């Protein structure tokens, strides 16, 4: 026998050795090939499957998409792919007896290819691959991607959004407010005498205070469109759509009280014996002629005024006060729009 000739290997042994299911079905739907992979996962022996109808060999109904794909391949000679993304489990195949008892099918990717027999008959080759590993890998990748996304937009110390996220969200919020003609309010919050707090209580307590303040501010948000972010150091910024000017004033006071209610001692404060915040805010309304692009700067200037007036309070500026020269912005809130 020629060692390189076709008779050196048993073709059936090769079919059984491959790590995927193989079936061949003739033009009348009878099974001509049924390899060991399929036999093991269907719990149907080869002897019981060969020369049986593909439609009736399984004890459970076949997916309509699978039946239609076989019909098109046998009738028109068209190849077909049943991807796992659209057709999770077309065939009743199981990884184990336990999964079969619980009715949990194996995830599958199926390819159906037209072939001709030596007699010229049109048949189809059905290849079934276990897609479970691909599904698990996809879930892991999605999970890693989500973790990376959260790390990119989240402040590592406080757990709320960071400046990078806020800068992008702020641009979107401005455009949406103008297009939808609804109000937009910006609040800039700064912890009073925080350097003195850090120096006296040390940085670990300073970090703990930042986390508690961030949580208190975020707890006041009630809508998915409301955003709170740490803008840097002891400064926070919030953006809320669809608030009237009086409602924005009420909300600013809620923020101030939420931090005060934490009752964090601050013996080195010239304002209070508790940790306090100063707040500047500004609201744009669509019925004004002012451009909302200056909202953040006006809120920042209002914060400066709140500090000038003694801290532990909220001050509002309007966009019409853009040229107010005795309340310059603090210089940390520059965004290129």
Q: What is the DSSP letter of 319?
A: G
Lookup: tokens for 184: 């937009």
DSSP calls for 153-204: HB-TTTSSB-HHHHHHHHHHHHHHHHHHT--EEEEEEEETTHHHHHHHHHHH
**Cα–Cα distance, 296 to 337 (Å, whole number):** 12
H or E stretch covering 217: helix 194-218
- Rounded to 5°, angle at Cα 313 from 309 and 314: 105
Inter-residue contact 186 to 243 (CB < 8 Å):
no
How does DSSP classify residue 61? P
Structure tokens at 4: 């390189």
CA distance linking residue 87 with residue 95, whole number of Å: 17
Tokens 């001692």, residue located: 265
Which tokens belong to 202?
A: 């040390």
Do residues 180 and 292 make contact, with C-beta atoms less than 8 angstroms apart? no
H/E element holding 21?
strand 21-25
In DSSP terms, which residues pair with 122 in a beta bridge? Answer: 116
Catalytic residue among 45, 60, 146, 234: 234
Q: Which helix (H) or strand (E) holds 135?
A: helix 132-153
12 is catalytic: no
Q: Looking at the annotation, which residues are catalytic?
A: 234
């Amino acid at each position: 026998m020629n060692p390189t000739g076709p008779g050196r290997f048993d073709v059936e042994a090769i079919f059984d050795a491959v790590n995927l299911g193989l079936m061949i079905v003739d033009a009348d739907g009878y099974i001509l090939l049924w390899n060991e992979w399929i036999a093991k996962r269907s719990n149907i022996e080869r002897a019981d499957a060969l020369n049986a109808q593909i439609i009736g060999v399984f004890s459970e109904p076949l997916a309509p998409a699978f039946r239609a794909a076989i019909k098109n391949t046998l009738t028109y000679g068209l190849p077909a792919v049943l991807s796992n993304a659209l057709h999770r489990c077309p065939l009743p195949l199981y990884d184990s007896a336990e999964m079969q008892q619980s009715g949990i099918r194996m995830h599958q990717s199926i390819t159906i290819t037209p072939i001709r027999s030596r007699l010229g008959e049109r048949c189809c080759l059905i290849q079934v691959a276990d897609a479970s590993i691909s599904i698990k890998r996809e879930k892991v990748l999605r999970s890693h991607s989500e973790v990376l996304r959260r790390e990119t937009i989240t402040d590592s110390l406080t757990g709320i959004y960071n400046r990078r996220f806020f800068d992008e969200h702020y641009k979107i919020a401005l455009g949406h407010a103008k297009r939808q003609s609804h109000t937009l309010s910006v609040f800039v919050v700064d912890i009073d005498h925080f350097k003195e707090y850090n120096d006296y209580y040390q940085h670990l307590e300073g970090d703990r205070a930042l986390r508690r303040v961030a949580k208190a501010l975020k707890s006041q948000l009630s809508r998915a469109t409301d955003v709170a972010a740490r803008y840097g150091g002891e400064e926070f910024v919030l953006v809320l759509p669809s608030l009237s000017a009086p409602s924005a004033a009420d909300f600013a006071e809620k923020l101030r009280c939420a931090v005060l209610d934490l009752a964090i001692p601050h013996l080195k404060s010239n304002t209070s014996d508790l940790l306090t915040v100063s707040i500047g805010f500004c609201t744009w309304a669509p019925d004004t002629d002012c451009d909302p692009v200056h909202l953040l700067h006006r809120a920042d200037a209002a914060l400066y005024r709140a500090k000038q007036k003694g801290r532990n309070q909220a001050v509002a500026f309007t966009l019409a006060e853009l040229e107010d020269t005795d309340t310059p912005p603090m210089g940390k809130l520059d965004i290129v729009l």
